[in-house]
Structures are given as C-alpha cells and as structure tokens.
Amino acid sequence: MIKGRWAAGRAATGAGLLALASAALAAGGQPLPPAGSAGPAETKVAAKRAPRPIEDFAALPMLQSPELSPNGKTYAARVALNGTLYLAIIPVDGGPPRYAGLGEADLNWWRWVNDDWLVIGIGRTSPVGDEDWYVTRAVAVSADGQKVQVLAKDSAAQNGDNILWAANDGTARVLLGYQTSIYSNDPGLWPRVDLFDLATGKRTRVMEGQPGVMAWYADGKGAVRMGIGQSDDGRRRRLLYRAGDRGRFRTVDRDDDGSLMVPALFLGDTGGAVTIADDEKGFSALYELDLETMTRGKQLMATEGFDLGGVISDSGGSRVLGVGTRTDRPQQHWIDPEIAKLAKQLGDRIRGAQVRLVSFSRDQSRVILLASGSDSPGAYFLYDKATDTLTDLGFTNPKIGMKRLHPVRTIRYKARDGLEIAAVLTTPKGAGRDLPLIVLPHGGPFARDTEEWDWWTQFLADRGYAVIQPNYRGSSGYGTPFTEKGEGQWGLAMQDDLNDAVSALAKQGIADPKRVCMVGASYGGYAAFRAAERDPTLYRCAVSFAGVSDLNAMRRYDSRFLYSGARRDWLKRQAPDLAAVSPINNPAGFGTPLLVVHGVKDRVVPVRQSRTLVQRLKRAGKPVDYIEQPLADHHFSREQDRLEFLKALESFLAKHNPA
C-alpha cells in the first residue's frame, strides 16, 4: 500500500457553493444552467476563442465512483495521481488517505463489507499455455490500508471475484463464488461458494458447484437462492431456484433466446422479488416477481418510450430505493419518499446542475452526490444531514472544474427508410452555421449515447467541430424492437443511419456536408473503417481507435471461450455475410485518409485487428497513419495514452478536415 496526503475538503454551505460558482465564472465559466436551457453565450455567435490546452481534456478523472462506508466516515474511490489510477480509501473528516497501486491489474469494482473492511475486484491477463487468459480475483482490504488478502488465493482458477453477498450486520463476512479449475472435464470448472470472514481469515464451504452453473445469486440474508446454468456452447440456459438456503434447486425456467425471468433484487421485507422485463411494447420496466411461479406481477416503474435502467437498492441489497432512468439524459427516479425529498432539496441547492445521488451511509445520514452537466464534468460533494452542510470532495476534472464548455442537446432525424434516430449533438459555444462535422458512433453496438459529459466530444467541439453521436438501429435503450432492427445490418443499414445524420444536419444548416470525418472506438472504430472503405466520397477522413476490421477473426477469437457457441451465433446474426462487411477484405476500396490507433494491451479487441488491416492498406498504397500504444488498453486507462491520441487526432483533422 502507498500512503499519501489528500487535499482537505472544504465545507460548503449554500454561500460556499455560490462562492464556488462565482469562482468558476471569474475563471471564464459560469454556474450550470438548468438542463436543456441555453446560456447567454449560446444565443449569439461569439468571438473566436483560443482552444483549451489538450491536457485539460486528456486528464483522467480525479475522482470516480466514490462509495461511503456503512458508518459514513470513510469513502473508497478510484483516483488519478500523476496520470495513474489508484484505489483510494479516504477519511471524510480528515486524516491521511490510503492509496493502493495495482500495477498492471485492472480495478474492476469495489464495495464496503463493514466499517473496517472492503473488498475489491481485480483482473489481469495471464499466460495459460499458448494463450493469454483474463484472470479475476477478489481482494479484501482493511480500511486502514494495513491488511490485504486475496480470497481463495491458492485455490481459485480463472474466475475468482464473484461476491454474491456481503453481511449487513456489521461483521466482515462475504460469500464468494469461484472456479477451482480451468478444464471442462474437471468439476472445479463450475464455481463453488464459500463464506469468508475477512477479519479472521476463516473460510467455510457453503455449497459445491453444479455442472453447467457458472453464476450463483444470494438474497439479502446470504442464502444462495438462484443459479443460471448453460449448455457448454451457451445456446441453452436454465434458471435454478430454491425457496431458502436449504434443499435442492429446481429448474423453474428455460430459454434459448436470453429471456429468462431473473430477479433483479430479492426483497428482504416481503420475501418477494422484483425483476426488469419487457412490457407489451418491448420496453423494459420494473415489475413485482412471484418467486414460486417465476411470473411477473404488478408494474412498478416504467419510462414511456425508453428502456428502464438498473435498480438502486439500499446498502443491505434487499430494498428498492429507486431506479436509474436514461431518457435523453441519465436520471434517477426515487421510490423511497425520504430520498426523493432529499434529492429534490439537493437539486434545488446546486443551481443548474444535474444532481445524481451516488452513495449513502447505512442510516442515510450522509450522502455523496455528483453535480455535473452534459457540458461540465462537475464535482462530487458529501451532504451531512445532521449539520445540513455540503463538503466539496473534489472536481471530476480539476483543470475544467465546474465551468460550462460546449452545449449539448438531443436531436431526432429520419433515416432513409423512415426509422426515427435519436442523436446527441455537441456544437462549439457560440458557433454559427455550416460547421465542419465529426460523426462519432458509439461502441457496443448494444449501447447508446446520452446528454452527459464526454471528453472526446467536448475536445472536438473546442477545436471548432460539430459532433453528432447517432443512436443508430441496434442501439440499446429504445426498446427491444429497435435493437432487433440492427440484426443483419452491421455495415449496412446501421452504416446508412450514420450517413443519414450528415444529410439531416446539412438540411438544417448546422453542418457542411463537404467537411465531414468519422471518428469512433471499438464498434465505432469498425464503423469508421467501414466508412472509409464503403463510403469514401462522403467523408474527408476517418479515425479508428481499437476498431474491429475482421468480423470472422473476432468470431474465431471468441471461440476460445466457454459458451462461445452463443456468441458466434449472435455475431453471425449481425450480418448475412461477415466477410462482405469486414473492411479488411477490401483494402482497395479505401479511398479516404485514415488514422488508426490501437493499444497492445487491449483485452477486448485484439491489436491485430488494426495491425493486419494497416499492413494490407500500406501494401495497397492507401493513405494510413498508424499508432500502436504499447501500454494502452481498450478503455484509455492511462493519461499518457489519452494525450497521445488527442494530439494525433488534432493534427490529423487539421490536415484532412480543418475547422
């Protein structure tokens, strides 16, 4: 463990917050306006401003996902120090924080068990024979940073980080599901469940693994109640269930299409459960769930025209406090009346910000909240109910603070076949008409963009570009029928949806259709490759970070993993002919300058997806710039890699599509 100091938080009452906003205004920013409103600088064309330094946008978030201890006296968070990410354990009322450096391991999640212990999930690539495997572990860390223990250190195999349950009675007990073998003919492939006492190190066997069951689930009292079993190829699934912590599991549901009725939360007060399932129109909603029949009951919450987000539970994991919703922007809907009242009070107190409650102490007397905006990275605050004060925990991006940068809004346009597409549009503050345009498709592709802070889009807008992020067919959030419209359309109608955004913005006078570049990462990187290969006359250039170029190669890569049959089936459904829509197979078709960036340590899309394509393009005499980042992953976890990418992007765009 690495010990260090943390800047003392400053208590901020209403007057303190006003001073904070005034300081931002004096520095060139202004208090955040209500979401969707236009600030003064957006009502007229402003004088041309000097761009902000690239380093402002490349900076890693200083503070991410803080989580309060049960007593509210400490919080754990991911922090950035000198461009490197650490887990920090930080006392709320002063005292030195503790920093955990993880080397090359990923910090995937963390949660408090009691006031003295938390458990974190880490992962890293390790060689197994001739292949690299991603191995996960659960690690117990004491709140004072003095004790660290890897759970099941000597017996866990590949997957060893599934915490099913943490005690809510003040003890340091957790249930861990983990494999003990990597071989399919060994019973240890199927996870067993053990009870660990983090304070004493004692381990107790709870249940052995069962063939085919890779995931177990426990209720709020620590009873293992449910498991999901799959065939070896992943094409068939079954839901196993029992009423308590004893007795045999019975199969209560089967499917081959991903439609198991799975509890989202076991309810401790009623013994029932809730689930998220599609309504009659194909939009997900929250329902009561009958555990005996595994059928849904009364609808509890829905969002018209959008899928519902996840359930927000109490610290014990047995009561629904609210749900996350994502309409045009991320929001929270609180079912608990006291929290709903508190959320409104805090929202009114921090003028103009989008306020999201992030973490609660067990008695809910202390709350961490994030105040931000689609054009501002914002800051985290701690609210103390006893003193009715807000303490500033830190800016997400200290170089920008709570300044408002470039306006963001959602537009809707019709694709060429009449399908309505929602898209997030970011424009330079005070910009005029006929702007140079960046089409920035999201990854996934089962994902979506909403009105929230995005360092890529804000950087591009700061350089004078309009940025459009279309939620093309196949995106999530708009109901199952909309998602299914993407099947068979990779590189085809999904690509048309991106092109149609250019036409729509040109008709409105926002963008110049002769000055357009496509930029994307992961699936968005694939779309950029496809644009350069299929539609080079529409785009002056294309930029891909960690993009896929060869879909058949990805299918072969996926075949190395358990349940790969279902994954191969899914990928095959995305296009009638994978080879035909794989840009790597048509290097002669590329007709626009291309910038390709890929990290060697990418564990999602192998670097050879870019490396091989670039080799073929160079042999074909095509214009391509290639940057291979030796330490970069798929998620820009290092500040140096972000900075190198943005510098290369700025230079490339200035040459091929200048603002």
Q: What is the pLDDT of residues 327-379, one digit of tens each?
A: 999 999 999 999 999 999 999 998 889 999 999 999 999 999 999 999 999 99
SS3 616: helix
Q: Answer whether residue 659 shows pLDDT above 50.
A: yes
Mean pLDDT of 487-503: 97
Taking only the tens place, the pLDDT of each residue in 264-297 is: 998 876 678 999 999 999 999 999 998 888 888 9
Please tell me the predicted confidence (pLDDT) of residue 124: 87
Please tell me the predicted confidence (pLDDT) of residue 562: 55
How would residue 26 be classed by pLDDT, with cut points 50, 70 and 90?
A: very low
Q: Which two tokens stand for residue 409?
A: 């809004």
What does the alpha-carbon distance between residue 102 and residue 148 come to, in Å, rounded to a whole number? Answer: 12
Please report, as a single letter, which amino acid is at residue 330.
P
Q: Answer whether residue 20 shows pLDDT above 90.
A: no
Residues 6+ apart with CB under 8 A from 600: 607, 628, 629, 630, 631, 632
What does the alpha-carbon distance between residue 497 and residue 7 come to, in Å, rounded to a whole number? Answer: 47
Please tell me the predicted confidence (pLDDT) of residue 385: 95
Peptide bond into 576 cis (omega under 30): no
What does the alpha-carbon distance between residue 71 and residue 189 come to, in Å, rounded to a whole number? Answer: 38
Q: Which fold has domain 408-656?
A: Rossmann fold (3.40.50)
Q: Answer whether residue 516 shows pLDDT above 50.
A: yes
What H or E segment, with its residue span, contains residue 298? strand 295-301
Mean pLDDT of 102-121: 92
Please tell me the predicted confidence (pLDDT) of residue 555: 78
Q: What is the mean pLDDT of the chain?
A: 88
**In 125-265, alpha helices (H):** none
Please tell me the predicted confidence (pLDDT) of residue 565: 64
User: How far from 261 is each of 149, 272, 569, 611, CA to CA, in Å?
Assistant: 36, 14, 22, 42
Q: Answer whether residue 624 shows pLDDT above 60.
A: yes
Taking only the tens place, the pLDDT of each residue in 176-186 is: 999 999 888 89
Please tell me the predicted confidence (pLDDT) of residue 561: 55
Taking only the tens place, the pLDDT of each residue in 31-89 is: 343 333 333 333 344 446 789 999 999 999 999 999 999 999 999 999 998 888 899 99
Least confident of 17-26, 101-110, 308-317, 456-465: 17-26
Please report, for the chain, the start and end positions of each structural domain, with discontinuous segments joined by +. Answer: 1-101+336-404, 408-656
Nearest to 316 by CA among 358, 384, 363, 385: 363
Nearest to 243 by CA among 219, 207, 264, 212: 219
